[in-house]
Amino acid sequence: MDFDLTQDQRLVQEMVRKFAVNELEPVASEIDKTGEFPWSNIKKMAELGLLGVIVPEEYGGAGLDFLSLAIVIEEISKVCASTGVIVAVNNSLAAYPILAFGDVKQRQKYLPVLARAEQIGAIGLTEPNAGSDVAGLESTAVVDGDYYRLNGTKRFITNGVEAGVYVIFAYTDKTKGHKGLSAFIVDGDTPGFSRGDHEDLMGLRATGNCELIFEDAKVPKENLLGEEGQGFKIGMHTLDVSRIDIGAQSVGIAQGALEASVKYAKERTAFGKPIAQFQLIQAMVAEMATQIEAARFLVYHAAYLKDKQVPRFSKEASMAKWFAAEACLNAVRKAVQVHGGYGYTKDYPVERYYRDAKCMEIYEGTTEIQKIVIARSLLKD
């Protein structure tokens, strides 16, 4: 059993760590405040290959493995969770399903565009009345000559406001249940498609989150991803991959919170000595660090399974996502506590981490959904 990262992975980690600290951290608080999508940093990251980490070189990406992607997301999220999820969505929720299920034409058309961040990608599964409940989705796609006519509304779409390429799920045949769900690649300038207002979120505020509205949107037939009725399979498989990244994002936020707490505990004095010397502070730091380490191993292991191309890793991806989200929530709660009153102000980054962290146990499958996935894989015949 080898716990060491490869030399590639270590160099990637070192490069992204430096980039994140030098380029992303200085604007993290500002974009959290303004909600401005960090286009200039996205372009810089695209030049380094970070928007197409897992996209093969022949399609303009870096062609690295999923563990490298997890490392990239972790390092970015350590200083800016908003930027972390923008990169994660572009890689694993937009580029990945096109890579895994798209035909050669679709890959050639969309993957280089996404990898170079000429357009940013987004995915539309969740709706106003259904997120976890796929059967409850109401969007429909009906054949009309050489086109599908899409109708419906998607909600809480990360990158939504700024994206130019969307992977959208809609029912082509509602009577077949989840086997009637299909996936489409939708261009941002599709007639009949529009974007709603920027959501005023608690955290992850610079992610261009919005509603997507389809009113007889005219999507060419060649933009069907995979085959009609494959939508559920595409969605679930894509979520398995993206849950690894949300796990990585959680580990990154938690690690950032831990490092901020260690620094603060050494600097802040109370009763005549640094608070780091008090055992109740030490206990918090120890608990944070241990849970983060455990979460990181689960995340890296799930990524390793994906890289090994094992056919099913849903259970491990869900374990990683759930556990890392919980470790993250615990870490940010303790981090604010270590900072005391200052942790409750916007003068210290842990206040932002605290708000960003909450989403970790909500999006891309709530913690409750992860537990169901894990239990089902254990209890099935």
Partner 1 sequence: MEIVVCMKRVPETGDAEIAVDSTGRDIVRDRLTYDINESDNYALEEAVLLKEKFGGTVTLVSMGPPETDETLRMGLAKGGDVAVRLWDHRFARSDGHATAFVLAKAIREMEFDLVLTGCIATDDGRTQVGVTIAALLGIPHATYVMKVDIEDGIATVQSELEGGLIAVNRMKTPALFTIQTGINEPRYPSLISIKKATAKEIRTLTLDDLGLEASSAGEEGSKTKIVKLTPPPVGKRAEILEGAPEVVSARLTEIFKEKGMI
Told to check if 289 binds partner 1 by CB under 8 A, we report no
- How far is Cα 284 from Cα 60, in angstroms, rounded to an integer? 44
Choosing from 19, 322, 353, 354, the residue that interacts with partner 1 (CB under 8 A) is 19
- Answer for which of 14, 103, 133, 215 binds partner 1 (CB under 8 A) is 14
Q: Does 144 bind partner 1 (CB under 8 A)?
A: no
> If binding is defined by CB under 8 A, does position 10 make contact with partner 1?
yes
State how far the Cα of 108 lies from the Cα of 309, in Å rounded to an integer.
23
Binding status of residue 50 toward partner 1 by CB under 8 A: yes
* Beta-bridge mates of residue 170: 182
Q: Which stretch binds partner 1 (CB under 8 A): 56-64, 90-98, 137-145, 215-223?
A: 56-64
Give the interface segment with partner 1, choosing from 62-70, 275-283, 339-347, 361-369 (CB under 8 A): 62-70
From the CB of 293, what's the least distance to partner 1, in Å? Answer: 16
Q: Least distance (Å) from partner 1 to the CB of residue 48?
A: 5
Contact yes or no for 36/206 (Cβ under 8 A): yes
**Binder among 56, 63, 188, 192 for partner 1 (CB under 8 A):** 63
| Min dist. Cβ of residue 3 to partner 1 (A) | 17
Give the residues across from 275 on adjacent strands.
none
Find the binder of partner 1 among 28, 31, 62, 111 (CB under 8 A).
62
Residues 6+ apart with CB under 8 A from 194: 212, 213, 215
DSSP notation for 98-158: HHHH--HHHHHHHHHHHHTTSS-EEEE--BTTBSS-GGG---EEEEETTEEEEEEEEEEET
Please answer whether residues 60 and 116 qualify as being in contact, where contact means their C-beta atoms are separated by less than 8 angstroms: yes
Judged by CB under 8 A, which of 5, 48, 130, 213 binds partner 1? 48
User: Contact with partner 1 (CB under 8 A): which of 30, 47, 58, 267?
Assistant: 47
Helices (H), the chain: 7-19, 25-34, 39-48, 66-79, 81-88, 96-101, 104-115, 231-267, 279-307, 314-339, 350-358, 367-379
- 364 in catalytic set: yes
State which residue, 47 or 215, has the beta carbon closest to partner 1. 47
What is the nearest approach in angstroms of partner 1 to the Cβ of residue 51? 10
The verdict on 81 binding partner 1 (CB under 8 A) reads no
CA torsion 356-32-85-215 (nearest 10°) is: 110
286 scored as a contact of partner 1 (CB under 8 A): no
The window from 5-13, 96-104, 220-228, 299-307 that contacts partner 1 (CB under 8 A) reads: 5-13
Pick the catalytic residue: 14, 127, 364, 368?
Answer: 364
Q: Which is nearer to partner 1, 68 or 318 (CB)?
A: 68
Instruction: Return all residues near 237 (Cβ < 8 A) that are at least 6 apart.
Output: 97, 100, 101
- For CA atoms 52, 53, 58, 60, give the dihedral sign: positive
Strands 181-187 and 224-225 come out as antiparallel
Closest CA to 357 of 258, 240, 280: 258
Instruction: Tell whether residue 27 is a contact of partner 1 (CB under 8 A).
Output: no
Q: How far is the CB of 11 from partner 1 (least distance, A)?
A: 5
Report the relative pairing of strands 273-274 and 269-270 from DSSP bridges: antiparallel
Closest CB to partner 1 among 12 and 206?
Answer: 12
12 near partner 1, judged by CB under 8 A: yes
CA angle (241 as vertex; 238, 247 as ends), nearest 5: 130
Q: Does residue 214 sit in helix, strand or coil? A: strand
Give least dist CB 4 to partner 1, A. 12
Q: How far is the CB of 268 from partner 1 (least distance, A)?
A: 13
Chain residues binding partner 1 by CB under 8 A are 6-8, 10-12, 14-15, 18-19, 47-50, 53, 57, 62-64, 68
Task: Give catalytic residues, as residue numbers.
Answer: 364
